[in-house]
Amino acid sequence: MPQADPLRSRRPRHPAGRLRRAVARDLAERGTRGFLRKAVGRLRYHAQLARYELNLRRLTGGLSRARIDRPVFVLGVQGGGLTVLARCLYRHPRVVYASGNSEWWAGPDEIHNCPHIRDLPEPLVHRSFHFKNVTSAVENHPRFGYQRSWLYAVDELLSEHRKTAEDADEGTTRGLHRVLRKLLTAYAHDPLTARIVDMSQLYTIQVPYIARMLERFSPMFVIAARNPYAVCARAVAKEYVAAHGCPFDDPEMKIACAVEHWTNSFRLALDDTRGLPRLIVRYEDFMADPEAVVREIDSFAGLEFDARQIPAPGQPFPLGSLEDNKWYPLRAGENERYLKALDPALVRALNARAGDLLKQLGYERIEA
């Protein structure tokens, strides 16, 4: 399946006409009130991201006073339930994330691909067709094209994205420290006591690299697992698709990629966090008792529990939020819809490659 070249510059035809049609469509679908709310939300979104570079604290020299303290990295794979879990942490009044805090808790939240963090050192950036941030640094791979999401940890691409402590250099380290201080300066209620939480999945296979660059700040790691049969089946169905820039549609290749990516991600995360502050949590436990899991994470991270962290009625999304289907009510039955239609080939592949990980993470083995 041919993949469009994301590096080619294309000037849209008749942009004014497109804008008029988009406005007319939005008005018809949402009504005047809904249209205005969406417009105000977009303004809030862009203003929130702009704060990263332009804010009063930074203008008055606050950047040098921001204190990086035990940043928390939530590790896992896309589609593993990380978003709702991380949002519980973002709603803590002391937490800062890639674009906000407890008052604006549902914005872009992965440092590795945030559009407004343009000064993140290149080795820490996750580039993929899916994220619309491909540059000439990304190879047009003969099998994978420019897509890297749910592919960066497959056997063939792992060495390209895997980083260890030996890869840490002074320039990248300095750049990462500056980005974290800018986040604290821009978004923290109090930059002296705030804690940074991030959920960049790429860093799941780069723990020693991140740990070395942040070793004087004592980084902490939360490994968030979800039933691997369900999450790999989800990847086959939803990640390896043309809309995400996936250039292949062979079912066997999709299964192989999903199993390789999941297994390599979690094997490295579990191995690399030994000896570091780490906590392992499971999506299924969170869905059964959100408060218990959030309290466990808060205790691990040294945060006092706040009841507002738990999804509940009467917690409207802030204007300009993203993915407003990922909060309350929690979406029960997400695993079951994949588990009841499992491909036996996926079951066999996962059992063969990741049987030990299933046991380590507390998941029951399924037989094809």
pLDDT at 9: 45
Give CA–CA dist 124/111, Å, rounded.
Answer: 9
Question: What is the layout of strands, in order, in the sheet containing 220-225?
Answer: 95-96, 195-198, 72-75, 220-225, 278-282
Give CA–CA dist 12/259, Å, rounded.
Answer: 39
Give CA–CA dist 167/176, Å, rounded.
Answer: 14
Query: Is the separation of the CB atoms in 83 and 321 below 8 Å?
Result: no
Superfamily of domain 51-361: P-loop containing nucleotide triphosphate hydrolases (3.40.50.300)
Domain edges within the chain = 51-361
pLDDT in tens, 76-86: 999 999 999 99
* Least confident piece of the model among 20-24, 317-321, 322-326: 20-24
120 Cβ neighbours under 8 A, 6+ residues apart: 111, 112, 114, 175, 176, 179
pLDDT at 111: 98
Give CA–CA dist 34/71, Å, rounded.
Answer: 38
pLDDT in tens, 83-129: 999 999 999 999 999 999 999 999 999 999 999 999 999 999 999 99
pLDDT in tens, 241-267: 998 889 999 999 999 999 999 999 999
pLDDT at 20: 75
Task: Report in angstroms the alpha-carbon separations of 282 from 128, 226, 339, 362.
Answer: 27, 6, 17, 9
Query: Is the separation of the CB atoms in 229 and 351 below 8 Å?
Result: no
Both structure tokens of 268: 């490295």
